[in-house]
Amino acid sequence: GNSVTQMEGPVTLSEEAFLTINCTYTATGYPSLFWYVQYPGEGLQLLLKATKADDKGSNKGFEATYRKETTSFHLEKGSVQVSDSAVYFCALNDGGTSYGKLTFGQGTILTVHP
């Protein structure tokens, strides 16, 4: 079956540091890949997405590139802010149907200190 593996957290960084959160996946077919973010006390928000190999998703300074050869979708940001402190989830939709369920990674807690 499908699965998503994220790097273990928590991750603690100082403001303006570089961020990488690793994500690898196992799926049949050609999945779409997503990063969702959950800020404290809030629901899940879509951060970015990529629907085919070599696509780069980007939003709010975050980027992730769909790498089919390494089955990866690592999240990066060049300079984090305190406001980026949240839980980040990597997810895939296996694309077997247009409306399939999401399979999530276990989440990575990011804390950014001033």
Q: Which residues bind another protein (CB under 8 A)?
A: 32, 34, 36, 42-46, 49, 51, 89, 91, 93, 95, 98-107
Give the pair of three-digit tokens for residue 34. Answer: 């997503």
Element containing residue 74 per DSSP (H, E):
none
Closest to another protein by CB, 19 vs 91, is: 91
Token pair 């928590």 is at which residue? 10
Element containing residue 110 per DSSP (H, E):
strand 108-113
Least distance CB 82 / another protein (angstroms): 23
Least distance CB 36 / another protein (angstroms): 8
Closest to another protein by CB, 19 vs 93, is: 93
Closest to another protein by CB, 7 vs 44, is: 44
Closest to another protein by CB, 92 vs 112, is: 92
Alpha-carbon gap, residue 7 to 105, rounded angstroms: 9
Least distance CB 18 / another protein (angstroms): 26
Going by C-beta distance under 8 Å and a sequence separation of 6 or more, which residues neighbour residue 28? 2, 94, 96
